[in-house]
Amino acid sequence: MKVFLYNFLIASEAILQNKLRAVLTSLGIICGVASVIAMLAIGKGAEQEILEKMRLLGTNNIIIKPLDLNKKSEASEESSDTKKSEKNKYTPGLNLNDASSIEDLPNVEAVSPEPVIETLALREGVKYNINLVGIKADYFKTNSFNIKSGNNFLSKNIELAEPVCIIGAAVRTKLFPTEDPLGKSIKCGHLWLKVIGVLEEKNISKENLQNLGIRNYNFEVYAPISTILLRFKNRSLITKQSLATGASNGEDEESNKDINLNQLDKIVVSVDKSENVTVISEIIDRMLFRRHNEVRDFEIIVPELLLQQEQRTKQVFNFVLGAIASISLIVGGIGIMNIMLASVLERTKEIGVRLAVGAKQNDVLLQFLSEAVAISLTGGILGIVLGIVASVIIESSTGIKTIVSPFAVLISFFVSISVGLIFGIMPANRASKQHPIDLLRYE
């Protein structure tokens, strides 16, 4: 250890005597390590975003949504005959019978049908725009929601269509800012609902709300699906009110375009294993196509496939960054090797004197190797600082999420030391293998 420290001090003195050259030599290492830090930070941020999206959409979920045939026919480039035939066919729309049929499929763990009604929540004069969502008891498990306080719906709540609800975190803050909402009632539309549970807050970015096409769950009120369909609105039923609306709009084709005849706004299907998601989605597609009289008035979204595709795109981007970082490190290593070879040449007599007064070949080897490692390690430390600063700038200026992890810092230290060892070994070996007499005679 004493020999190592002594040779390291000699190497440090040589570096301090040529500070500018040492800084210029380490520039390649600085840029390379900074690139590695930034690359790993972007990769970690992308991974975090993917995991967040997977938690929001569900890892093994399949999402089924109704399509607006009028909008579809306007945007479609199909032949007019195909449009008319599809438009004129009767379709029941997305309904509970579809959800029941999907429940009978193999490898399906849970099916969560959702009718959604936009309405006002009212309590003590405070009004709040909400989505009133009809659900079954396993909805929260399927969507990875946690109930912060209170209880989930019981089977009797659903069977008897009881006027009870579970509210989101934002609804609780708005309507119950200073008191416990459990056991109290809020008026949703025309009906009072008793609060039996409060959901844990979900942090959802605006970007995810737009890109994933999801609702902000914190602003929603959840009631048993039977309560929504029996006590509020069931769009699949023909009522006196719907007949009156149809009669008043019968001559106005444009008005009928806005009428939603789907009983459900979404069906979320949870599959037991991720490898079965694609097969089950294909089966559901064929089954619903037959049930809807060969009218494709629905769309099936497989979040896992979409997120895998996004992940592959980001992996390619990270690979490109990694290649650039590797090139920078190689260039930096070659720079160190060149400078060390020049240093060996200009310090020939110094090496000869050291060998003549009793220094061993290993001492000279260790001296120049320590010098190369010290230059690369200094460059590595500066590169880490630059990489962290670059990551912060990237996130603030572009909105790309970056996370600098301790693993990235350790990797950068390891890379910088390795570059010094790999590219410093040849000049150090060359310096130690020369004969002291030849070195002392060198002019």
pLDDT digits (tens, 9 = 90+) for 14-29: 677 777 777 777 777 8
pLDDT of residue 371: 77
Q: Is the pLDDT of residue 250 over 60?
A: no
Q: Let me know whether 216 and 118 are in one domain.
A: yes
Average pLDDT over residues 73-101: 67
Number of domains in the chain: 2
User: What does the block give as tokens for 197?
Assistant: 């549970």
Q: Which letter does DSSP use for residue 1 in this model?
A: -
pLDDT of residue 195: 94
- Per residue in 354-369, pLDDT (tens digit) is 777 777 777 777 777 7
Q: Let me know whether 141 and 160 are in one domain.
A: yes
Q: Categorize the per-residue pLDDT at 259 as very low, low, confident or very high, splitting at 50, 70 and 90.
A: low
- Give the domain-ending residue among 245, 278, 301: 301
Q: What whole-number distance in Å separates Cα of residue 237 and Cα of residue 69?
A: 20
More confident residue, 86 or 31: 31
Q: Is 61 helix (H, G, I), strand (E, B) or coil?
A: strand
Query: By the 8 A CB rule, do 185 and 118 touch?
Result: no
One-character DSSP codes across 111-175: EEEE-EEEEEEEETTEEEEEEEEEE-TTHHHHTT--EEEE-PPPHHHHHTT-SEEEE-HHHHHHH
Residues 6+ apart with CB under 8 A from 44: 402, 403, 404, 405, 408
Residues 6+ apart with CB under 8 A from 385: none
Average pLDDT over residues 155-172: 91
Q: Is the pLDDT of residue 213 over 60?
A: no
Q: Let me know whether 24 and 115 are in one domain.
A: no
Residue 271 neighbours by CB distance under 10 Å = 25
Which residues of 15-60 form beta strands (DSSP E)?
none
Q: What share of the chain is helix, strand, coil (3-state, %, to 5)?
A: 60, 15, 25
- How far does the chain reach from its first CA to its final CA, in angstroms? 35
Please report which helix (H) or strand (E) contains residue 64, including its range.
strand 61-66
Average pLDDT over residues 25-49: 78
pLDDT of residue 188: 92
Q: Let me know whether 228 and 194 are in one domain.
A: yes
Query: By the 8 A CB rule, do 67 and 261 touch?
Result: no
Q: What is the mean pLDDT of the chain?
A: 78
Q: What whole-number distance in Å separates Cα of residue 431 and Cα of residue 434?
A: 6
User: What does the block give as tokens for 56?
Assistant: 């929001």
User: What does the block give as tokens for 300?
Assistant: 């099936």
Q: Is the pLDDT of residue 118 over 80?
A: yes
Q: Which letter does DSSP use for residue 217 in this model?
A: G
pLDDT of residue 7: 64
pLDDT of residue 181: 93
Q: Let me know whether 276 and 159 are in one domain.
A: yes
Q: Is the pLDDT of residue 246 over 70?
A: no
Q: Looking at 95-99, 100-104, 173-177, 428-432, which range is the least confident one?
A: 428-432
Q: Let me know whether 103 and 49 are in one domain.
A: no
Query: By the 8 A CB rule, do 166 and 216 touch?
Result: no
Q: Let me know whether 41 and 111 are in one domain.
A: no
Q: Categorize the per-residue pLDDT at 222 as very low, low, confident or very high, splitting at 50, 70 and 90.
A: very high
Which residues of 177-332 form beta strands (DSSP E)?
185-188, 191-199, 220-224, 266-271, 298-301
| pTM over 0.85, yes/no | no
Antiparallel, parallel or unpaired: β 164-167 and 191-199 = parallel
pLDDT of residue 19: 73
Q: Let me know whether 277 and 207 are in one domain.
A: yes
Range of the domain at 212: 61-301
Average pLDDT over residues 49-57: 63
- Give the domain-ending residue among 282, 301, 320: 301
pLDDT of residue 249: 47
User: What does the block give as tokens for 141?
Assistant: 């498990």
pLDDT of residue 258: 53
More confident residue, 7 or 217: 217
**Closest to 229 in 3D by CA, of 263, 191, 268, 262:** 263
Average pLDDT over residues 42-70: 72
Q: Let me know whether 33 and 146 are in one domain.
A: no
pLDDT of residue 306: 59
pLDDT of residue 180: 92
Q: Looking at 129-138, 286-295, 308-317, which range is the least confident one?
A: 308-317
pLDDT of residue 50: 65
- Per residue in 57-71, pLDDT (tens digit) is 666 788 888 887 665
Q: Let me know whether 113 and 220 are in one domain.
A: yes
More confident residue, 195 or 427: 195
Q: Let me know whether 265 and 154 are in one domain.
A: yes
Query: By the 8 A CB rule, do 201 and 171 touch?
Result: no
Beta partners for residue 199, in sequence order: 147
Q: Is the pLDDT of residue 406 over 80?
A: yes
Q: Categorize the per-residue pLDDT at 196 as very low, low, confident or very high, splitting at 50, 70 and 90.
A: very high
Q: Categorize the per-residue pLDDT at 253 as very low, low, confident or very high, splitting at 50, 70 and 90.
A: very low
3-state secondary structure 258-296: CCCCCCCCEEEEEECCHHHHHHHHHHHHHHHHHHCCCCC
Q: Let me know whether 7 and 150 are in one domain.
A: no
More confident residue, 252 or 281: 281
- Give the domain-ending residue among 301, 322, 348: 301
